[in-house]
Structure 1
């Protein structure tokens, strides 16, 4: 079994992120009660990165994959901490 190229790996990562993290949360839903990290800013940053890689002609490198994974992981932790996901 051969390893996927980075473009295929990026698309797989994006699909996985979209399944785990709700990118379309309403601002009113995110910004109520005590906030332990800004869910809104993290979701905006993650959405921007995903949009860039979905429509970019650039070929991602391993560093780009790791960067997107890191943003997604941090976003997931903050959303979980703020009780927006389980």
Structure 2
């Protein structure tokens, strides 16, 4: 069995992120009550990164995969802290 290319790995990671992180939250949902980290800014940054890799002709490297993983993990932690994900 051969290893997937980084492009295939990136697309699989993006699919997993979209399954676990609600990228389409309304600002009114995000900005209620006490805020423990800016969910809006993190979601915007994550969405920008995902959009770039979905439509880019550039072959992602391992560093790019790790960067997207880090951004998505930080975003998830902030959303969880703000009770926007289970």
Q: Report the count of equivalent residues.
A: 86
Counterpart of 1:22 in structure 2 is: 22
Q: How far apart in 2 are the matches of 1:57 and 1:78?
A: 31
Give the RMSD, CA atoms, in angstroms. Answer: 0.4
Unaligned runs of at least 5 residues, structure 2: none
Counterpart of 1:4 in structure 2 is: 4
Please say if 1:33 is aligned against 2:33. yes
Superimposed CA distance per residue, residues 2-33 of structure 1 (whole angstroms, 9 cap, x where no aligned partner): 11000000000000000000000000000010
TM-score normalised by length of structure 2? 0.99
Q: How far apart in 1 are the matches of 2:50 and 2:67?
A: 11
Moved over 3 A (4+): none
Unaligned runs of at least 5 residues, structure 1: none
